[in-house]
Amino acid sequence: MDKDALRVGGLTPLTSLDYPGELAAVIFCQGCPWRCSYCHNNHLLPPDGAHAIPWSQVEAFLERRQGLLDAVVFSGGEPTLQNALPAALTQVKAMGFKIGVHTAGIYPERLETLGPLLDWVGLDIKALPEDYPTLTGATASGERAWESLRLLLAAGVPLEVRTTVPPDWRLARGMETLMRRLADAGVEDYALQTRRDTNHRHQDLRGTGFPAPPPPETYAKLGEALFPRFVLR
């Protein structure tokens, strides 16, 4: 396997959900530096996965799908972690596919350089900046994610911001403030998501005696009032 090629931990050959309005394939990039308490792709966290797909195999698949798929989404893991990402995006775009990226905004400076290659971005904003370390285990993670948001909005890249309702009741109390701050920042497309309980690390975040956080439906009316395009997932 080419050590300089994009490390791929999974591939979804067809989806209508991961790039709004387009038929897409999803490439799951291996590796993520954060350890979010409710991550549902734990197998993609290490830099090297047990079920790696060679990039040459991904290339061959996409060549067969030219004219059949509209777009390719690079997800993860965290795709911007890998130095091989720009070359992979360039190659796939040259095949005629639109390019989407799912990112947590971990590397705003890298995301900014990718701007000309991006047709759409799905950006995870997990919480208010000050609450990020509780979820990610990384200091200054909130500042980096919110800087990525600022850069993407300034660049005019088509953008959907998503938030998964935090597993910690104490953090979930900040959801209304978070949503209002995102609307004030200029976010127009916003998705509120239910976490998937495949990673039980989130149980450690709930203080004894605290109730479970409210379901996303609790915030539906606020989301519809704040954002031109709002969806519950």
Specify the pLDDT at position 1.
56
Percent of the chain with pLDDT over 90: 75
Least confident of 149-153, 209-213, 228-232: 209-213
Specify the pLDDT at position 117.
98
Mean pLDDT of the chain: 90
Specify the pLDDT at position 197.
55
Instruction: Assess whether pLDDT exceeds 80 at residue 202.
Output: no
Instruction: Assess whether pLDDT exceeds 70 at residue 129.
Output: yes
Global pTM exceeds 0.75: yes
3-class SS letters over the chain: CCCCCCCEEEEEEEECCCCCCCCEEEEEECCCCCCCCCCCCHHHCCCCCCCCECHHHHHHHHHHHECCECEEEEECCCHHHCCCHHHHHHHHHHCCCEEEEEECCCCHHHHHHHHHHCCEEEEECCCCHHHHHHHHCCCCHHHHHHHHHHHHHHHCCCEEEEEECCCCHHHHCCHHHHHHHHHHHCCCEEEEECCCCCCHHHHHHCCCCCCCCCCHHHHHHHHHHHCCEEEEC
Domains of the chain (ranges; CATH) run: 8-232 (3.20.20.70)
* Each residue's pLDDT tens digit, 71-111: 999 999 999 999 999 999 999 999 999 999 999 999 999 99
Q: Which residue in the block uniquely carries the two structure tokens 């519809």?
A: 224
* Each residue's pLDDT tens digit, 18-31: 999 999 999 999 99
| Rounded Cα gap, residues 69 and 54, in angstroms | 21
